[in-house]
Amino acid sequence: MLKQLKLKYYVLLVSFINLLLYQYPFFKFVLTTSNTKSFNGIILLISLIIASIVLNAFVFYIGLYLLRNVGKWLLAIFFNISAIAVYFINTYGVIIDRSMIGNVFNTNYEESSSFLSLGLLLYILFLGLLPSFFLFKFEIIRPQLKSFLISTGLTLLFLGILVFANSSNWLWIDKNSKTLGGLVMPWSYVVNTSRYYNHINKKNKKQILLPNATIKNDEKSIAVLVIGESVRSSNFSLYGYDKNTNPLLSQIEGLKHFEAESCATYTTAGLQCILEHQNTGKLYEILPNYLYRNGVDVIWKTTNWGEPKVTIDNFQNKVMLRKNCDGPDCDYDGILLKGLKDEILASKKNKILIVLHTSTSHGPTYYKKYPKEFERFTPVCKSVELADCTQQELINAYDNTILYTDYLVASLIEDLKELTAYNTSMIYISDHGESLGEKGLYMHGIHSSLAPKEQLEIPFIAWTSEGSKTIKENQEHSQHNIFHSVLDFLAVDSPIYDEAMSIYK
């Protein structure tokens, strides 16, 4: 038989459970960033604990009064999602902001399944399913409408007093609002899911066409854009890293590398920055669509995901690539180079853009992203719970992905050298960087305003064939250089072309 409990006591109990099970990351951040030894710091901590219990109870009170038993099921869903969210916060140091929600909704089965672990299942069992079962052990006694309104009004008055009592802490709260909002459960994912879809809906549903372009000459030219995944420049020996992760690229004459930062720390936004002509916040035509519409042959090959809508004829995803692939490279990014020269030679156009979207350095299973012969830095981390590995094991696994990237890009350049009938150029740039345990952070996805340099500093590498365009020296580079550089190399004349943004002389 179910125990009867008044609604106000039920929601206080549920709110206390929510505080106990899911607010540890929130209060850990408060304790480490505020001065809890001062009087104001003590008041802040006590006020946040009280506010957490009362505010959550207030929202649960209204929800359960209006939704009745449906509200219990909604709370059960919250408990299980909160358990998963807390696991990822504790394990990878993520913050559940709008960007992270975008990562969640834009991931695919292959990526999401790589996070499955015993630890995650234990979080779901003990912090999700068992507390959810407890919710249904009580029969709620709902108050009369008059009592409900009085309780609601008094709670709002109390919360208002609590806010003004902390006026001396408003500046600290405002300064850390993004992080606090990304750690408080369940509102971090509830509010930011709403923000994410609101952001999506505000975007133009149809791409805005850019001004028409013309091709200035008939010279045969190939521009190859290689988009790296989760690659940070600090682990490239080209950028001064003490381990030789670029044994092949370092031997290529005329290869240039530049300092650059990504405009975001997650794939969809990073790709948008690479492919758009400037940062407008609007849905303008991206590079492959624009060139294809204006007479350039465009080939897009990807083992990844998260691309904006690419409207070309020759778009090949991982499934398509694997259908006709044979050999060990088919399980890795080497598949992107299979048959590429034959496709180029079969083209009937003089101007060709090739985009290779890789996935080599995406975590957490770095050790699975390269063939065994590239495992030169050992021992390597083989756990998806990255904090369980030593940082050196984690870095070794990641460095092996960079070693494999070095091989892929160098192999591509050697293939391009054989196409002597064409002027050829290769640009390698990453969508964003990666954290490998620095400051307790792993992988990527922290909002760019809060992100560490490891998630922002990316490699920007360029090469051109002998006799074609040369590359400028000492130029500041960003992901937005790509659009204008490709137009320049392929001799595409456009009203939106910005010569200062091209990397070529």
Domains and CATH numbers, the chain: 3-202 (no CATH), 221-501 (3.40.720.10)
User: Over 60: is that where the pLDDT of 204 sits?
Assistant: no
User: Over 70: is that where the pLDDT of 483 sits?
Assistant: yes
Burial 286-305 (b: 16+ CB within 10 A, else e): bbbbbbbbbebbbbbbbbbb
Say how many C-beta atoms besides its own lie within 10 A of residue 307's C-beta: 21
Distance (Å, rounded) from C-alpha 305 to C-alpha 366? 17
pTM assigned to the model: 0.79
Of the given ranges (33-47, 216-230, 259-273, 345-359), which has the lowest mean pLDDT? 33-47
User: Over 90: is that where the pLDDT of 48 sits?
Assistant: no
pLDDT at residue 57, rounded to an integer: 92
Distance (Å, rounded) from C-alpha 268 to C-alpha 75? 31
pLDDT tens per residue across span 286-334: 999 999 999 999 999 999 988 888 999 999 998 899 887 888 888 999 9
pLDDT tens per residue across span 236-253: 999 999 999 999 999 999
Mean pLDDT, residues 82-90 taken together:
90
Distance (Å, rounded) from C-alpha 26 to C-alpha 22? 8
Compute the mean pLDDT over every residue in the chain, rounded to the nearest whole number. 90
Distance (Å, rounded) from C-alpha 109 to C-alpha 300? 22
Terminal CA-CA length for the chain: 81
User: Over 70: is that where the pLDDT of 168 sits?
Assistant: no
User: Over 60: is that where the pLDDT of 201 sits?
Assistant: yes
Mean pLDDT, residues 60-71 taken together:
89
User: Over 60: is that where the pLDDT of 262 sits?
Assistant: yes
Of 134 and 215, the structure prediction assigns the larger pLDDT to 215
Question: Which alpha helices (H) appear in 176-249, and where do they start and end?
Answer: 177-181, 187-202
Distance (Å, rounded) from C-alpha 456 to C-alpha 448? 8
pLDDT at residue 99, rounded to an integer: 74
Radius of gyration (Cα) for the chain, nearest Å? 27
Coil/strand/helix, residue 386: helix
Place 234 in a pLDDT band, splitting at 50, 70 and 90.
very high
pLDDT at residue 35, rounded to an integer: 77
pLDDT at residue 494, rounded to an integer: 97
Coil/strand/helix, residue 397: helix
pLDDT at residue 17, rounded to an integer: 93
Distance (Å, rounded) from C-alpha 461 to C-alpha 402? 13
User: Over 80: is that where the pLDDT of 187 sits?
Assistant: yes
pLDDT at residue 463, rounded to an integer: 98
pLDDT tens per residue across span 405-437: 999 999 999 999 999 999 999 999 999 999 999
User: Over 90: is that where the pLDDT of 453 sits?
Assistant: yes
pLDDT at residue 247, rounded to an integer: 98
Burial 247-275 (b: 16+ CB within 10 A, else e): eebeebeebbbbebbbbbbbbbbbbbbbb
Q: At what angle do helices 481-489 and 267-275 cross, to 10 degrees?
A: 40
Looking at residue 130, the DSSP 8-state letter turns out to be: H
pLDDT at residue 203, rounded to an integer: 58
- Which tokens belong to 1? 């038989």
pLDDT at residue 93, rounded to an integer: 82
pLDDT tens per residue across span 272-287: 999 999 988 888 999 9
Of 389 and 402, the structure prediction assigns the larger pLDDT to 402
Backbone angles phi, psi at 354, to 5 degrees: -120, 130
Cα→Cα distances 203→206, 209, 276, 468, 496, Å: 9, 14, 14, 39, 21
* Beta strands 3-6 and 297-302, pairing class: unpaired
Distance (Å, rounded) from C-alpha 358 to C-alpha 313? 20
Nearest to 443 by CA among 3, 56, 111, 14: 111
pLDDT at residue 360, rounded to an integer: 94
User: Over 80: is that where the pLDDT of 112 sits?
Assistant: no
Of 97 and 432, the structure prediction assigns the larger pLDDT to 432
Mean pLDDT, residues 154-168 taken together:
82
pLDDT at residue 398, rounded to an integer: 98
Of 277 and 102, the structure prediction assigns the larger pLDDT to 277
